[in-house]
Amino acid sequence: MPRHSKTHDQALPEKTLVLDNGANTIKAGFVGSPSKFEDCQIIPNCLARGRDKKVYVGSELELCKDFGEMAFRRPVEKGYIVNWEAEKAVWDHSFFSAKSIMPCNPHESNLVLAEAPNTPTTLQINCDQVVFEEYEFASYSRWIGPSLNAYHDVQCLFGAVARKPEVDVVPAECLLVVDSGFSHSTVTPLVNGRPIQQAVRRLDVGGKMLTNYLKELVSIRHYNLMNEDHLVNDAKEQVCFVSSDFRRDLESTWKGASESRKQRDGNAEDIVVDYVLPDYNAATKGFMRPHDPSLAARVRKMGAMANPGGVVEDFMTLGNERFSVPELLFNPGDIGMQEAGLSETVFQSLSGLPPGLWPAMLGNILVVGGNALIKGFVERL
């Protein structure tokens, strides 16, 4: 009789590291005992070099006080990890060094890694080799990000009773995930947590493109900020909103600040605002304030103005930039892109599904990603 090889069932570690390796930030957390939601971390996924030539890796960026002319090197492009040299530096500093904010021993941990839908096979192989050969995790599972969303307690978001911790986790039966992140946006229909591949759609517009577009606009109309990625990205997050009536808002800004009042969500609000730039001495972060036409007129005559504390401040007045920049998500043709907007992309995705699934998908839409935080985004979608 042939000799059978002996097999030994090796128990997997209780601790699991879950990574959502985004283009702008890494969302990381541990699953196992003990673990808390408060222990999850959002880590900048980049290497940054300031004008003092100092290099910041990952979470070190939070210690920086001067973001002027900062150059960024990002390991993720178009949603895919393309620079493992930079990515390993971020991972090593964040998880596997003496100063890690989330210390992890890969030999005693499992890894669940989220990736973008339709990642090229070559990049997947590179990822697998790094995980197993460089870090030697005990076990490893690679999932597309939208599928992991189906395992959250999604139904409680729609008014159902919250799931009890002791209940087994079951993915949502039907879910349409709209993920609009830093490098791109995707629409992924899921059935029992599994994507319907022929209906997955992608839009190459994300937060990075919005930031670059805003840089061009303010550099033409105000100050040259083409080398100020961090500053402009922060301004975008503070001042931009998605317009519910683009034509009306555009006409109101053309009529001037005195008439740029509108009714949105039951509150009257000026469209034209002032964004005060940081000087990286007294202030390391800019802020938005209501527009003062008289102050703007004095600045045009006298140059920079001092605030009540005696600190000289520079500011730029933003009007239609506030809503014309995020409008690219819904109308990429505004800058000549031959792609459908996000709303049309959703319907293109539905067209790849059997009509019988449409009601269930439209009744269970989950919006995730950084762009979902833009005011008015969900309502417009």
**pLDDT tens, 362-375?**
988 999 999 999 99
Q: Is the pLDDT of residue 200 over 80?
A: yes
In this prediction, residues 234-251 reach a mean pLDDT of 91
Would you place residue 325 in the very low, low, confident or very high pLDDT band (cuts 50, 70, 90)? Answer: very high
In this prediction, residues 268-273 reach a mean pLDDT of 73
Spell out the alpha helix ranges (H) of the chain: 84-95, 121-129, 145-149, 207-221, 229-239, 246-254, 293-302, 321-324, 342-351, 358-362, 377-380
Q: Is the pLDDT of residue 209 over 50?
A: yes
Q: Is the pLDDT of residue 354 over 90?
A: yes
Mean pLDDT of the chain: 85
Q: Is the pLDDT of residue 264 over 50?
A: no
pLDDT for res 158: 65
Q: Which two tokens stand for residue 272?
A: 């034209």
How far apart, in whole angstroms, are the C-alpha atoms of residue 207 and residue 209? Answer: 5
Between 84 and 264, name the one with better pLDDT: 84
Task: Classify burial at 333, counting beta carbons within 10 Å of its beta carbon; exposed 0-12, middle 13-18, buried 19 or more.
Answer: exposed
Q: Which residue has the tokens 């090796």?
A: 10
pLDDT for res 66: 86
Would you place residue 306 in the very low, low, confident or very high pLDDT band (cuts 50, 70, 90)? Answer: low
Q: Is the pLDDT of residue 310 over 70?
A: no
| % of the chain surpassing 70 pLDDT | 87
**pLDDT tens, 216-226?**
999 998 889 99
Residue 350: how many CB atoms within 10 A of its CB?
Answer: 19
| DSSP strands (E only) in 117-182 | 139-144, 174-180
Task: Name the pairing type of β-strands 139-144 and 71-73.
Answer: unpaired
Residue 158: how many CB atoms within 10 A of its CB?
Answer: 11
In this prediction, residues 158-172 reach a mean pLDDT of 74
Q: Is the pLDDT of residue 299 over 80?
A: no
How far apart, in whole angstroms, are the C-alpha atoms of residue 101 and residue 36? Answer: 15
Q: Give counts: helices (H), strands (E), the chain.
A: 11, 22
Q: Is the pLDDT of residue 82 over 60?
A: yes
Would you place residue 312 in the very low, low, confident or very high pLDDT band (cuts 50, 70, 90)? Answer: low
How far apart, in whole angstroms, are the C-alpha atoms of residue 132 and residue 148? Answer: 22
Q: Which two tokens stand for residue 128?
A: 């697998």
The residue among 367, 346, 366 whose CA lies nearest residue 358 is: 346
In this prediction, residues 348-352 reach a mean pLDDT of 93
